[in-house]
Chains A and B, each alone.
Chain A
Amino acid sequence: MRKVTLRNLVAHKVRLFLSAFAIVLGVAFVSGSFIFTDAMGSAFSGIISGSTADVEIAPEGANEFDSAPDGRTIPDSVVADLEQLDEAAEVDPWNQVQAMYVVGEDGKVVGGNGPPSFAFTDTDTRALTGRKITTYVAGDRPTGTGEIAMDVATAEKGDHQVGDTVQLVTPGDPPTLEVELVGLVEFGEGSLGGATLTLWDGQALQELFFDGERAWSGISLTAAEGVSQQQLRDAAAEVLPEGVTARTGDDMVEDNEEGLQKILGFLNTFLLVFATVAMVVGTYLIINTFSILVAQRSRELALLRAIGASRRQVNRSVLTEALVIGIVGSTLGLGIGFLLAQGLRALFGTIGLDLSTAEFSIEPRTVLVSYLVGIGVTMVAAYLPARRASRIPPVAAMRDDVALPEASLRRRLIIGTVLLVAGIGLMIAGFQVENGTTGLTMIGVGMLSILVGVSLMSPVIGRPLVALLGATYRRTFGTVGQLAAQNSQRNPRRTAATASALMIGLALVSLMSVLGASASASTDKALKAAITSQFIVSNVVGSPFSPNIAEQIRDVDGIEAVAQFRQAPAEVKRSRVFVGASDPDDLAAASDFPVAVGSMTDLAEGAAIITPEAAEEQDLAIGDEFQMNFPSGPVDLTVVGVFGVNASVPANYLVSLDTFEQAGLAPLDSFLFVEKTEAADADAVRADVDEILKDLPTVTLQDPGEFAEQQKEQIDFFLNIIYALLGLAVIIAILGIVNTLALSVIERTREIGLLRAVGLSRRQLRRMVRLESVIVAVLGAVLGVLMGVAFGIALQRAIADEGIDVLAIPWDRLLVFVGLAALVGVLAAVLPARRAARLDVLRAISTE
């Protein structure tokens, strides 16, 4: 029996390869996700441990994994106190400035949109790893405010050599600096993951960015011999002033790792969701392939039964085939996953995340998961066909044409309806659940259940569409078209399963494009309400910029008002909120955020104007006092106003600039709302402002329309990534069409021979196969797009209060999808059609 199984595998190499391919792709996605996030984890772990000293001292709440830029400092006197400690071998005070960009020789910011850019005080601190955090590989240490050192990778990317004059974009005043590059350093752990690092002489950063005050962002301590981290920390804590904390390096690493793992976990889950989609689609392909193989071999299987094989043996024989395919597919998938991870590295490289030195290793967990998923899915998918195979009666061996016992369409309809209803129920329930993850999971499972339900029902649901296509075919392509349409209906289940694979892929693609279009439309609407000024100055990346820019723009002729707007995250009663800060007079002059209760002018220090949503959520009214928690600690605020319902303020709470700085947040602007005088010429004003901004590649002046376009570009960018990830599922679905067609061609060899014998030309034959393929593809696409639109509408309604409150259905794009699907059908038919056309007429006729 085993010999029969193995012979079969060898005999049907090509078709089995095609179905194994689905497993290969799915497993590759799974293993690639793990390998990539592992590599990313190890790279960032290296950065964390390679940049942390034995004990780190910083203002409370600063220097956390997700801290916002922090303006607070530690007085210099603390350094002297720490130097008195016997436990400390080294005391290295440092300053840190975030958002300090290096401009490359090409005039563009090194690293572009992704990774962070830091300026640090140059120190010799040793990291936990025992190596120095930075080591000089060329040139000298910088001295004074006119010299810097930078990391080798940044210098290479910016094409800078030692001795070059380098332009920097700073978050301070002045917003740009020209300095001489005097030294190059290597980071102890090799790679900074694409981050930009500039190193400065002891007090240079203080002079430039801390008002010349002799104060530090943090202090790194190295323990003396025989002193533990904990001992050093305890000793240091004794001499620290209030509001400044000391933490051991191990603690910091642990905390940071936790934060890191959270992000990586999210990324991994994100990728695995798409891997799951690919696997579900692959399952259809495998079920279909095995069903067809079993159908074609039914006579042979019956013969085995007739000569004494038990049902179980037949069943096991089919399942053994599946096992072999699962093992082979998983192994290949694991290998390709490794390559896929390299591909992801390149992809992330384009947005500035540099993992060129990261190690890509295949962990035992990755291997285990890959095989479990690959073999598991294959076996599950082969189960039904195997069971059907075992039901073939022995007497079938004696008959001429064997019809497999098949469940009636009615049973399918019933199961499909149950799944559909259950899925809808789950989705509705999922929308009600407060807990985000549980709710999302329920919605996801609900959608899957609906998709499977519809795919079960699709032989019936699809009938009118196929009939319509068939009628069109007959009219357009005559007999060839009629034959193609009828062929597609010979095995409604087969056609449905093949189309369903494509349907699932396209349903998700359509869902995403509905959500994407809705997000774009909502952004458009929100921005139209939010930006009432003539111009807005913003940073492309969204990172804050120097307040000096606002000062300079105010001096331009024809400018009426410039409102600085700052943003930061904070907490009110344990829930995360966005706090904005601006000068009330400027804001009133440059934009139009109607205040319903109270007045904008009351926005003094310690006052807040809140949105109606925030008022409702936190149960706050005018005159109420509440606490807002910043990394530096709580700040007491009084509600002095509530915005009107239509005021699209880019924050939940608005405070004054003083309050913002008092909370220890760096005085950096996120936007500037710019209003010109009525008399001024817009183009002239624009030209003048552009002149100010020309040295600042990261900051741009736009009118509201341009700004909205830019925001929408970001949505599109994200959407394109998702399309690419879903693309894999679509590719598997296309393979499914190829596979089914190829198998159908083999099955109909005799008939094809006959058609050729009675005069069907090769061309007509190819067209017939092609037309059948198009029917399958279009059926899948139409069902998929319809479901995607339905899902999209449901999800948009569900998250309407999260900001996506406009429903937009991009019909033109969806039509393009259907058109592309038809094209895909044509392409999928190329090989099977060629194969059919090449059949030797004589042999085809005499084939049994």
Chain B
Amino acid sequence: MTHRAETLGLPRSDRRVAARTVALRKLYGQGEAEVHALDGVDIAFYEGEFTAVMGASGSGKSTLMHCMAALDSPTDGRVFLGDTDLSSLKDKQLTELRRDKIGFVFQSFNLVPTLTAKENIELPLSIAGRRPDPTWFDTVIDTVNLRDRLGHRPNELSGGQQQRVACARALMSRPEIVFADEPTGNLDSTSGAEVLSLLRRSVDEHGQTIVMVTHDPVAAAYTDRVVFLADGLVVDELRNPTRESVLEEMGELTARAMA
């Protein structure tokens, strides 16, 4: 099933694994209504790579991301973040893990309405009782290009600006990995492009690891690697994707599903 992966080349040997799953299963419901959202997924995401996870609705891509991001617990199998086995951690440690090692970007921004953009960006750090490194803060703010909007509250910002604030928040704590759940789903194409290129830049310039769930082949084309899910299984992947190659692959998968 990974014939393409072989032809397109395995990850470069100097790339270490940032996160991986082993035989990951997630069941919802019981008996008749039992649904295998994940049906034994083994996958690795590499440091300094921008990976897209694609698949039809119900393919399990969101569940995979939630499980990897310590937001949801798997029914079976393991999730490793670096060398840490998430299943061995208690709620408190998971909370700290999310706070210190994971960044999030949501489809619907999810900013705290009472806080200014700057305060929202600093939130994970200030929750932990830490101050942001001023150089890094400047770097991130420049990356997301929000310097003149820092004092504004979310309701005074456009959707694209809000999502850029969310991205800055995710990057600020220098997490080992950033998970983005359809970050451009609620944005027009211009704002979407801004957000995607800012994610791309943070990978290229700062070596950030990013995993992004998306429907959109255009968004996927910004990444280094696309992983395709169907019916709770990893069915294929592409390296150095383009819009066209992604579309082609998607068509193929659909055809296979129809057959």
Measured in the bound complex, the distance between the Cα atoms of B111 and A41 in whole Å is 64
Question: Is B71 in the interface zone, CB < 8 Å from A?
Answer: yes
Contacts of A490 in B (CB 8 A): 113-114
Interface string of B116-129 (1 = CB under 8 A from A): 00010001101111
Question: Is B106 in the interface zone, CB < 8 Å from A?
Answer: yes
Number of interface residues of A (CB under 8 A): 25
Given contacts A478-B129, A842-B71, A842-B72, are A759 and B110 in contact (CB under 8 A)?
no
Measured in the bound complex, the distance between the Cα atoms of B113 and A479 in whole Å is 14
Question: Is A757 in the interface zone, CB < 8 Å from B?
Answer: yes
Measured in the bound complex, the distance between the Cα atoms of B126 and A486 in whole Å is 15
Q: Is the interface of A mostly helix, strand, loop or mixed?
A: helix
Interface string of A462-479 (1 = CB under 8 A from B): 000000000000000011
Shortest B157–chain A CB gap in Å is: 14
Question: Is A267 in the interface zone, CB < 8 Å from B?
Answer: no
Shortest B91–chain A CB gap in Å is: 7
Contacts of A461 in B (CB 8 A): none
Q: Among the listed stretches A533-541, A673-681, A760-768, which one makes contact with chain B, having 4 or more residues with CB under 8 Å of it?
A: A760-768
Question: Is A407 in the interface zone, CB < 8 Å from B?
Answer: no
Contacts of A487 in B (CB 8 A): 114
Contacts of A754 in B (CB 8 A): 106, 110-112
From 59 to 85 in chain B, residues with beta carbon under 8 angstroms from any chain A beta carbon are 66, 71-72
In the complex, residue of chain A having the shortest beta-carbon distance to the beta carbon of B179: A757
Interface string of A807-848 (1 = CB under 8 A from B): 000000000000000000000000000000000011001000
Given contacts A757-B104, A758-B98, A759-B100, are A751 and B113 in contact (CB under 8 A)?
yes
Shortest B46–chain A CB gap in Å is: 24
Contacts of A480 in B (CB 8 A): 127
Question: Is A493 in the interface zone, CB < 8 Å from B?
Answer: no
Contacts of B129 in A (CB 8 A): 478
Contacts of B110 in A (CB 8 A): 750-751, 753-754, 757, 845
How many contacting A-B pairs (Cβ < 8 A)? 65
From 98 to 148 in chain B, residues with beta carbon under 8 angstroms from any chain A beta carbon are 98-100, 104, 106, 110-115, 119, 123-124, 126-129
Question: Is A132 in the interface zone, CB < 8 Å from B?
Answer: no
The residue in B96, B100, B123 that gathers the most chain A C-beta atoms within 10 A of its C-beta is B123
Contacts of B240 in A (CB 8 A): none
* Contact (Cβ within 8 A) A755 B112: yes
From 701 to 721 in chain A, residues with beta carbon under 8 angstroms from any chain B beta carbon are none
* Contact (Cβ within 8 A) A841 B114: no
Query: Which of A479, A753, A756, A761 is in CB contact (< 8 Å) with B126?
Result: A479
Query: Which of A482, A486, A842 is in CB contact (< 8 Å) with B66?
Result: A842
Interface string of A282-308 (1 = CB under 8 A from B): 000000000000000000000000000
Shortest B14–chain A CB gap in Å is: 30
Question: Is B256 in the interface zone, CB < 8 Å from A?
Answer: no
Number of interface residues of B (CB under 8 A): 26
Measured in the bound complex, the distance between the Cα atoms of B119 and A790 in whole Å is 41
* Contact (Cβ within 8 A) A845 B106: yes
Question: Is A483 in the interface zone, CB < 8 Å from B?
Answer: yes
Question: Is B169 in the interface zone, CB < 8 Å from A?
Answer: yes
* Contact (Cβ within 8 A) B112 A756: no
In the complex, residue of chain A having the shortest beta-carbon distance to the beta carbon of B110: A754
Contacts of B123 in A (CB 8 A): 479, 755, 758
In the complex, residue of chain B having the shortest beta-carbon distance to the beta carbon of A488: B114
Measured in the bound complex, the distance between the Cα atoms of B185 and A410 in whole Å is 41
Contacts of A756 in B (CB 8 A): 95
Contacts of B112 in A (CB 8 A): 483, 751, 754-755
* Contact (Cβ within 8 A) A759 B92: no
* Contact (Cβ within 8 A) B72 A762: no
Measured in the bound complex, the distance between the Cα atoms of B92 and A504 in whole Å is 41
* Contact (Cβ within 8 A) B96 A486: no
Measured in the bound complex, the distance between the Cα atoms of B113 and A842 in whole Å is 19
Contacts of B71 in A (CB 8 A): 757, 841-842, 845
Given contacts A841-B71, A845-B106, are A759 and B128 in contact (CB under 8 A)?
yes
* Contact (Cβ within 8 A) B127 A479: yes
Measured in the bound complex, the distance between the Cα atoms of B97 and A756 in whole Å is 11
The residue in A490, A759, A841 that gathers the most chain B C-beta atoms within 10 A of its C-beta is A759
Query: Which of B91, B98, B100 is in CB contact (< 8 Å) with A757?
Result: B98
In the complex, residue of chain B having the shortest beta-carbon distance to the beta carbon of A486: B114
Contacts of B119 in A (CB 8 A): 482
Interface string of A757-782 (1 = CB under 8 A from B): 11111101000000000000000000
Query: Which of B99, B106, B115 is in CB contact (< 8 Å) with A759?
Result: B99
The residue in B91, B114, B128 that gathers the most chain A C-beta atoms within 10 A of its C-beta is B114
Given contacts A478-B129, A479-B126, A842-B72, are A760 and B95 in contact (CB under 8 A)?
yes
* Contact (Cβ within 8 A) A758 B114: no
* Contact (Cβ within 8 A) A762 B126: no
Q: A483-B112, A754-B111 are in contact. List 12 more A-B contacts (CB 8 A).
A: A478-B129, A754-B106, A757-B98, A758-B99, A758-B104, A758-B124, A758-B169, A759-B95, A759-B127, A760-B127, A762-B95, A764-B127
The 10 closest A-B pairs by CB, nearest first: A759-B99, A486-B114, A479-B126, A754-B110, A758-B124, A761-B95, A842-B71, A759-B98, A759-B124, A842-B72
In the complex, 21 of the A-B residue pairs with CB atoms within 8 angstroms, ordered by the A residue number, are A478-B126, A479-B123, A479-B126, A480-B127, A483-B112, A486-B114, A750-B110, A753-B110, A754-B106, A755-B123, A757-B71, A757-B98, A757-B104, A759-B100, A759-B128, A760-B95, A761-B92, A761-B95, A761-B96, A764-B127, A841-B71
